[in-house]
Amino acid sequence: MPARDEPAILVLNAGSSSIKFCIFRRVDGQAVRGLRGQVSGLGTVPRFTSRRDGGPTIDTQLAAGPMTHAAALDRLLEAVHAELGGARIVGVGHRVVHGGLEFMAPIAVDTSVLQRLDQYVPLAPLHQPHNLAAIRALLARLPGVPEIACFDTAFHRTVPDVAQRFALPPRFAEAGVRRYGFHGLSYEYIASQLSAVDGRAAAGRTVVLHLGNGSSMCAMRACRSIATTMGFTAVDGLPMGTRCGALDPGVVLFLMDEMKLGPREIERLIYNESGLLGMSGVSSDVRDLLASSEPAAALALDVFVYRAGRELGSLAAALGGLDAIVFTAGIGENQAEIRVRICRQAAWLGIELDAAANARHGPRISTPGSAAAAFVIPTDEESMIARHVMRLLQA
């Protein structure tokens, strides 16, 4: 455990129903993770959970009914200050979903930056307002402490224009309708780890599969994003826990015109009631689906694996070949069975799985003779944010 008076960095991820946090200490120029947790169930029955690496989870109910985000932040800060015992918070890093085309890197937020970030609320109405509200609240509660916005979109600003375009008249792109891509902090973290794992994957053509509750894939050339499966919003691309992924836009018209669904109903359908949960009627969690004997659970997994295989082929085409794939996030890191099935579909791309290494979760899970290599690398978006904060504080 680092000394209690080491300067601390707070990392926040404020969403619609939860605010997650993680404390890092700056020790010898490194970000060392301390207490982490969240206030969840803000709209229903709020709970506070926290734990240290390797320690038990502390779980308390905060109130009998809904709690405002502001009240939740106050409770969270109380817990953080109690944990820090007088040590100073020298910077706060915020996960912000949307930086548009303008923000290609993390930035210290002041009122003028906040105004610029407000422009992107219509592009991510379910997330951006909560991200920005937390920054505003912290600017008021911790005066003088830098608030650093770290964007899910920034890593994909290296994607060529041709891959960012929808085939719509140009005025729509000018109004912001283009492919942005998300999960950028996760991809950036994986990119930062890649050269230590495999030089060829770091220098070459690599597809990273971030498979969690939210899932996407990113094609990297020399660790820079050149294509990704999420687009204008984080509902595009792969099927996810509760999101449908890519959907023929004609389906949306049919839902409106023939099935008489309104915009909010369609939003609920495609974000919350589809994907693995919607297809299976059982659960959004791959563990439950693998354990289930329901045919619909098996079908949901079949569709997930099929679509991952299709997208992998598409991203390999964008890269002009494939040197490596990397699995990450909850499913990618832990579900050996799903990796087997995706790799089987990717055999034509030269991936040959080493069953024993895959069962051990890697890091290398392909055979020595495999033409393209496969790896499992755990992601860590929070420490990516903490690193950004440290770098900006030093600058």
Residues near ligand ADP (CB under 6 A): 212-214, 241, 285-287, 329-331, 334-335
Nearer to ligand ADP, 95 or 98 (CB): 95
Please state the closest distance from residue 380 (CB atom) to ligand ADP, in A: 11
Closest by Cα among 9, 8, 70, 60 to 37: 60
Nearer to ligand ADP, 10 or 331 (CB): 331
Nearer to ligand ADP, 335 or 366 (CB): 335
Question: CA–CA separation, 246 vs 244, rounded Å?
Answer: 7
Please state the closest distance from residue 95 (CB atom) to ligand ADP, in A: 12
Please state the closest distance from residue 285 (CB atom) to ligand ADP, in A: 4
DSSP per residue, 72-138: HHHHHHHHHHHHHTTPPEEEEEEEES--TTT--S-EE--HHHHHHHHTTGGGSTTTHHHHHHHHHHH
Cross-strand pairs, 13? 20
Cβ-count burial of 177 within 10 angstroms (0-12 exposed, 13-18 middle, 19+ buried)?
middle
Nearer to ligand ADP, 99 or 330 (CB): 330
Nearer to ligand ADP, 141 or 287 (CB): 287
Here the tokens at position 215 are 């899932």
Nearer to ligand ADP, 274 or 335 (CB): 335
Do residues 289 and 276 lie in contact, with contact meaning Cβ atoms separated by under 8 Å?
yes
Please state the closest distance from residue 332 (CB atom) to ligand ADP, in A: 8
For the sheet with 58-61, list strands across it.
Answer: 58-61, 47-51, 30-40, 19-27, 8-14, 89-96, 147-151, 107-108
CA-to-CA dists, residue 313 to 105, 217, 269, 299, 355, angstroms:
29, 11, 28, 21, 22
CA-to-CA dists, residue 382 to 148, 272, 337, 366, 386, angstroms:
13, 25, 27, 28, 6
Please state the closest distance from residue 109 (CB atom) to ligand ADP, in A: 24
Question: CA–CA separation, 316 vs 255, rounded Å?
Answer: 33
Closest by Cα among 385, 311, 343, 344 to 107: 385
Please state the closest distance from residue 45 (CB atom) to ligand ADP, in A: 19
Do residues 154 and 106 lie in contact, with contact meaning Cβ atoms separated by under 8 Å?
yes
Please state the closest distance from residue 127 (CB atom) to ligand ADP, in A: 13
Question: CA–CA separation, 186 vs 331, rounded Å?
Answer: 14
Nearer to ligand ADP, 216 or 370 (CB): 216
Hey, which bits of 292-350 come out as E strands? 324-328
Q: Which residue is nearest to ligand ADP (CB)?
A: 330
- Residue 152 annotated as catalytic: yes
Please state the closest distance from residue 50 (CB atom) to ligand ADP, in A: 17
Here the tokens at position 136 are 């505003």
User: Active site residue: 53, 74, 152, 288, which one?
Assistant: 152
Residues with Cβ within 8 Å of residue 380, at least 6 apart in sequence: 189
217: three-class secondary structure by DSSP: strand
Question: CA–CA separation, 252 vs 248, rounded Å?
Answer: 8
For residue 242, give the amino acid letter.
Answer: T
Nearer to ligand ADP, 334 or 367 (CB): 334
Which residues are catalytically annotated? 152
